[in-house]
Amino acid sequence: MNTFLVSLDANNTLPIFSTLRNCIQHWSVIQNPKNCSVPILQSTIEKLTPGDFLSLYIHAQNAAILIEIDENLPNQPLISSWQVLLPTETITSSLEPHLSCFPVPIFRLSNRSQLLSRVHGELLVDFMSNTIEYSKSYKASYPFNETREVPISHYVCQWWITQFQGIQIDNSVNTSVAFKKKHRDQIRYKSTTFPFRRSGLWMTIKVVFHTILTKRLGTIGTIVYKLLITNFLTYFISTVQTSMGSRLSTHLLIHCLRKIARRLNKIEGLLSSIDSNDMNQWIQTVTEKIKKQIDRIAPNSNWQKCIRKNQKGNLSKIQLNVNLPETYQHPCTLLKAYLAKNYSNTLVKQSSYSYNYDSRASSSADCKDDTLPTVSSIINHDDDVIGIALTRIEIWVQSCLNEWLNHSLLSKKGYKCFENLQSFYEDYQHTALKFYYSENKSTDPIGYSRFILTSLTIIRLMHEKLCEDNRFERLKFHAVRIPHLLDLFEFLVLPNRDDMIRARDLYDYFRKFNDKSYPDLLSNIEAKNAFGIYFADQSSEMNETLKEIQDQVEQDKRDKIEEVNNAKEEYEQLMKKAHELMCECTLNLYFPKCKRCTIIKDADNLKVHIYECPIPPNRESALAVIFELQMPDEFRCYRDILWQFVSRPNPNTSNHMCEWLSASPHNTKLRRFNKSSNNCKVKLVSSTKSISQSHYSAPRQVMSTPLGDFFYENSLQVQISPTKTMEFKDECRTLTPELTDPDYKDLQFSIATTQCVQNRVIAEQSKCSLRLKLTQFIEFGSFRSGHRLQWWNLLSILELDSLSMDDESVAILITHALLQYGPMATDREAFICAWCPDAHQQLLEDHFVDELITRLDRHLQDCECNWQNEMMLVIITVIVMRVFTICNSTRKSQLTNLVLKCRNIGEKWIRLISESIQNSSSSTTDKMDDYRDKIAIIGVACILTFSIYTDC
CA dist 159 to 31, 163, 371, 452, Å?
Answer: 21, 7, 79, 70
Q: How many CB atoms lie within 10 A of CB 62?
A: 24
**pLDDT tens readout for residues 798-856:** 888 888 888 889 999 999 999 999 888 777 776 778 888 888 888 999 999 999 999 99
The amino acid present at 622, given as its one-letter code, is A
Of 468, 488, 523, at which residue does a domain stop? 468
Largest Cα–Cα distance in the chain?
125
The whole-angstrom separation of Cα 842 and Cα 850 is 11
Q: How many CB atoms lie within 10 A of CB 761?
A: 23
Q: Verify that 365 and 246 share a domain, yes or no.
A: no
Q: In terms of residue numbers, what domain contains 100?
A: 2-198
Q: Verify that 179 and 267 share a domain, yes or no.
A: no
Task: Answer yes or no: is pLDDT of 245 > 70.
Answer: no
Q: Verify that 155 and 15 share a domain, yes or no.
A: yes
Residue 654 contacts residue 682 (beta carbons within 8 Å): no
The whole-angstrom separation of Cα 424 and Cα 670 is 30
The whole-angstrom separation of Cα 29 and Cα 38 is 12
CA dist 184 to 98, 178, 227, 453, Å?
Answer: 7, 20, 21, 60
Q: Verify that 254 and 113 share a domain, yes or no.
A: no
* Alpha helices (H) in 753-820, listed in sequence order: 758-763, 774-782, 790-800, 808-819
What confidence category does residue 903 fall into, taking pLDDT thresholds of 50, 70 and 90? very high
Residue 74, in any domain of the structure: yes
Residue 240, in any domain of the structure: yes
The amino acid present at 398, given as its one-letter code, is Q
Residue 602, in any domain of the structure: yes
Task: Answer yes or no: is pLDDT of 676 > 70.
Answer: yes
Residue 761, in any domain of the structure: no
Q: Verify that 52 and 165 share a domain, yes or no.
A: yes
The whole-angstrom separation of Cα 498 and Cα 947 is 12
**pLDDT, mean over the chain:** 84
**pLDDT tens readout for residues 692-730:** 888 778 888 888 888 988 999 999 999 999 998 888 988
Task: Answer yes or no: is pLDDT of 533 > 90.
Answer: yes
Q: What pTM value is reported for the model?
A: 0.72
Task: Answer yes or no: is pLDDT of 731 > 80.
Answer: yes
More confident residue, 279 or 793: 793
For residue 144, give the 3-state DSSP assignment: strand
Residue 903, in any domain of the structure: yes
Residue 98 β-bridge partners: 183
Q: Verify that 52 and 138 share a domain, yes or no.
A: yes
Q: Verify that 562 and 652 share a domain, yes or no.
A: yes
**pLDDT tens readout for residues 176-196:** 688 888 876 655 555 555 555
The whole-angstrom separation of Cα 425 and Cα 419 is 10
Q: Verify that 712 and 622 share a domain, yes or no.
A: yes
Q: Verify that 188 and 265 share a domain, yes or no.
A: no
**pLDDT tens readout for residues 303-355:** 566 666 666 666 555 554 545 554 444 555 555 565 566 555 544 444 333 33
Task: Answer yes or no: is pLDDT of 455 > 50.
Answer: yes
Mean pLDDT comparison of 158-172, 403-417, 592-606, highest-scoring range: 403-417
Q: Verify that 82 and 128 share a domain, yes or no.
A: yes
More confident residue, 294 or 198: 294
Residue 409, in any domain of the structure: yes
Q: Verify that 223 and 191 share a domain, yes or no.
A: no
CA dist 833 to 408, 450, 732, 851, Å?
Answer: 35, 22, 26, 21
Q: Verify that 251 and 146 share a domain, yes or no.
A: no
Q: What is the pLDDT of residue 634?
A: 94
Of 429, 446, 468, at which residue does a domain stop? 468
Q: What is the pLDDT of residue 4?
A: 84
Of 452, 468, 484, at which residue does a domain stop? 468
Least confident range of 2-6, 258-262, 486-490: 2-6
Distance in angstroms between the alpha carbons of the first and the last residue of the chain: 100
Return phi, psi of residue 505, to 5°: -65, -45
Please report the beta strands in 376-531, taking only residues with DSSP state E, as ranges in sequence order: 437-438, 441-442
Q: What is the pLDDT of residue 551?
A: 95
Residue 769, in any domain of the structure: no
Residue 857, in any domain of the structure: yes
The whole-angstrom separation of Cα 303 and Cα 300 is 5
Rounded average pLDDT over 472-483:
94
- β-strands 711-712, 611-612: how paired? parallel
Please report the beta strands in 637-795, taking only residues with DSSP state E, as ranges in sequence order: 658-659, 684-686, 700-701, 711-712, 719-720
Q: What is the pLDDT of residue 618?
A: 93
Number of domains in the chain: 5
